[in-house]
Each structure stands twice: as structure tokens, then as C-alpha cells.
């Protein structure tokens, strides 16, 4: 049993007095931050997110306080800072997991190895994949088990519970225009026509779909999709926070997490392949969704 624990959580065995602090930045979305946090948490249960408060919100408003860093932690633990947008593969998992090659395979940053070079592979990368069959069981089980340990605040759970849908018949559509409030001059392609075509094809190929759960990262684009979806008869459209900057209700960060959790319950998913937010949706579904990844 001891050997099993050492293999699964090497940081517990070798640096039990160490805390991993995952950075939070005002210009980084929930996808990048949560992927970094989950990867670190998977090797050390004593992993916490910075509590920095930005106009978009603080992670203390999203996650249970056990996952939030505070100044007293620095007095009790040796703190390692960590930041990486990738799903990390352990060095010991290199034997079973191959690199899933894509146009971002060679993109790497020094932050990805900061403080944790003994545990994570710098060679094998699995990001931007929406095919469970390509993920080794050891990697899949570690990441999904870590996701299962997350505890969200009551406001998140209550808001998610409001959506009483037949999720097995629901199609989630996550539109990335790359004009979200935290994004500045992001040079990535967006096409309404591509999303519209993918939605049409999905509805034609899956006649059981009776609900579209719609998330758009920029408020003014919402109307285009609602108008388009109204062309389909007997289709219920559920818009997720059409006004992302509304002053009342959950803050912007909370809304992003709520959208991610609600969409992860849907059986079908249309998304932008290079969005880490889309990756979160897929992984929080247990990698069970039937996905159409655009771009």
C-alpha cells in the first residue's frame, strides 16, 4: 500500500511539508488556470490557488476555502510556485502515454517546469485532445480522480442545480470569438458560419437532441446564435449568461465555472479545439461527450 501511494502521489512521499501555489493572473482564463491547478493537485493534495482578486472575480468565490492560498500557508510550508496551461503527464507515465501531436505540441514555456521538474514529463504532451481512446488509463484516471476531489462553493452548486435539463438529449455549444473581457488582441480565427454549419450537422445526425445549451464569450454575438437556432423547430435554447458583465448575480469568474459545469453534463459538445476552456468541459464530462472540435 505504501508503494502505491508513493507512485500515485510522489510529492506526498518526498516533500510532505511542501505546498504548491498555483498562480492566478488577470489576463488568463479559467481554462488555463484550472488545468494548471488540477495537474499540480494530482501530485500533491496540498495544492492551492492564489486568492488574488480581480474585477472578474476571485477563486475564493468559486472553490472551497481548502483550495485557496493564504499568507499563513507560507509560515507552515515550503512553497513551490507553479504555472502551466498544459495537462501534465508524469515522468513515470511516459512509458504508456505518447505525445498527441498538434499545432501546439512544440509550444512550451519555462513556467511549465518551474519547481516540479522531478515529477512531470517535459516530452509528452496530451493537450487539445477530445478523444478518450488516445489517453492512457493511468493518465486519465489520475486527472479525473483529481477533478472528482474538487469542491465548489455553494453559489456554484446552487446555480448549476437550477438547470434541470435532459442532458442526454442536450447539445452544448461553446463559441469562442476570442473577445472575452480577459482577452486582449487575441489573434485567432473565428467564423460564425463554421459554428452554424457544425450545429446544423449535429442536429441532423442526432435527431434526439432537443436542447441547445449556448455559451458565447462575447455578449454582442449572442443574438446571432439565438436567431439562428430559432430556425429549428421543437428546439429549446438555453443561453448561459447572455450578459456576461451583468452587475447582479454571480461574478464573471463564477459564471465561467458555472457554464463549464453545465456544459460538461451535455452528451454532445461543439467547441473550439484550441480553447482550454473547451478542454475543461470535456474532461469534467469524464471525457464521455461526443465532440465536434472546430479549427
198 and 242 inside one domain: yes
Q: Which of 148, 171, 200 is the last residue of a domain?
A: 148
- CATH number, domain of 182, equals 3.40.50.11350
Mean pLDDT for all residues in the chain = 87
pLDDT at 295: 83
pLDDT of residue 12: 41
- On the question of pLDDT at 8 being above 50, the answer is no
pLDDT category at 237 given cuts 50, 70, 90 is very high
Residues 209 and 134 in one domain: no
Q: Same structural domain for residues 102 and 210?
A: no
Q: Structural domain tally of the chain? A: 2
Same domain, 132 and 178: no
On whether both 11 and 144 belong to a single domain, the answer is yes
Residues 108 and 208 in one domain: no
Instruction: Say whether both 161 and 222 belong to one domain.
Output: yes
202, pLDDT greater than 80: yes
Q: What's the pLDDT score for residue 9?
A: 44
Structural domain ending residue among the three candidates 101, 133, 148: 148
Same domain, 177 and 271: yes
Which of 148, 165, 196 marks a domain boundary? Answer: 148
Q: Based on the fold, state whether residues 131 and 45 are members of the same structural domain.
A: yes
- SS3 per residue for the chain: CHHHHHHHCHHHHHCCCEEEEECCCCCCCHHHHHHHHHHHHCCCCCEEECCCCECCECHHHCECHHHECCCCHHHHCEEEEECCCCCCCEHHHCCCCCCCCCCCCCCCCHHHHCCCCCCECCCCCCCCCCCHHHCCHHHHHHHHHHHHCCCECHHHHHHHHCCCCCHHHEEEEEECCCCCCCCCCCCCCCCHHHHHHHHHHHHHHCCCCCEEEEEECCHHHHHHHHHHHCCCCCCEEEECCCCCCCCCCCCHHHHHHHHHHHHHCCCEEEEECCCHHHHHHHHHCCCCCEEEEEC
Same-domain check for residues 278 and 223: yes
Over residues 139-162, mean pLDDT: 97
Residues 221 and 175 in one domain: yes
Q: How confident is the model at residue 5 (pLDDT cuts 50, 70, 90)?
A: very low
3 falls in which pLDDT band (50, 70, 90)? very low
pLDDT higher at 51 or 180: 51
* Domain encompassing residue 184: 154-294
Q: Is the pLDDT of residue 14 over 50?
A: no
How high is the pLDDT of residue 11?
45
Q: What is the pLDDT of residues 84-142, one digit of tens each?
A: 888 999 999 999 999 998 777 666 555 566 668 789 988 899 999 999 999 999 999 99
Residues 134 and 7 in one domain: yes
Amino acid at each position: 500500500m505504501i508503494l502505491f501511494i508513493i507512485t500515485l502521489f510522489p510529492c506526498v512521499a518526498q516533500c510532505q511539508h511542501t505546498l504548491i501555489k498555483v498562480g492566478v493572473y488577470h489576463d488568463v482564463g479559467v481554462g488555463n488556470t484550472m488545468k494548471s491547478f488540477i495537474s499540480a493537485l494530482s501530485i500533491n493534495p496540498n495544492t492551492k490557488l492564489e486568492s488574488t482578486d480581480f474585477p472578474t472575480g476571485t477563486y475564493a468565490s468559486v472553490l472551497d476555502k481548502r483550495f485557496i492560498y493564504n499568507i499563513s500557508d507560507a509560515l507552515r510550508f515550503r512553497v513551490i510556485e507553479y504555472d502551466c496551461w498544459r495537462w501534465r503527464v508524469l515522468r513515470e507515465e511516459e512509458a504508456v502515454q505518447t505525445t498527441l501531436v498538434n499545432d501546439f505540441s512544440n509550444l512550451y514555456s519555462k513556467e511549465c517546469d518551474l519547481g516540479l521538474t522531478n515529477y512531470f514529463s517535459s516530452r509528452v504532451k496530451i493537450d487539445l485532445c477530445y478523444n478518450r481512446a488516445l489517453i492512457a488509463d493511468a493518465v486519465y484516471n489520475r486527472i479525473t480522480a483529481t477533478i472528482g476531489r474538487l469542491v465548489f462553493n455553494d453559489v456554484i452548486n446552487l446555480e448549476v442545480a437550477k438547470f434541470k435539463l435532459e442532458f442526454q438529449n442536450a447539445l452544448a455549444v461553446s463559441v469562442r470569438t476570442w473577445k472575452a473581457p480577459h482577452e486582449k488582441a487575441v489573434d485567432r480565427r473565428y467564423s460564425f458560419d463554421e459554428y452554424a454549419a457544425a450545429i446544423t450537422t449535429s442536429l441532423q445526425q442526432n435527431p434526439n437532441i432537443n436542447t441547445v445549451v449556448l455559451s458565447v464569450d462575447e455578449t454582442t454575438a449572442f443574438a446571432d446564435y439565438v436567431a439562428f437556432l430559432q430556425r429549428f423547430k421543437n428546439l429549446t435554447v438555453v443561453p448561459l449568461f447572455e450578459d456576461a458583465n451583468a452587475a447582479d448575480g454571480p461574478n464573471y469568474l463564477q459564471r465561467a465555472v458555472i457554464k463549464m459545469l453545465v456544459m460538461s453534463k451535455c452528451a454532445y459538445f461543439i467547441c473550439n479545439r484550441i480553447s482550454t476552456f473547451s478542454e475543461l468541459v470535456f474532461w469534467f464530462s469524464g471525457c464521455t461527450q461526443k465532440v465536434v472540435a472546430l479549427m
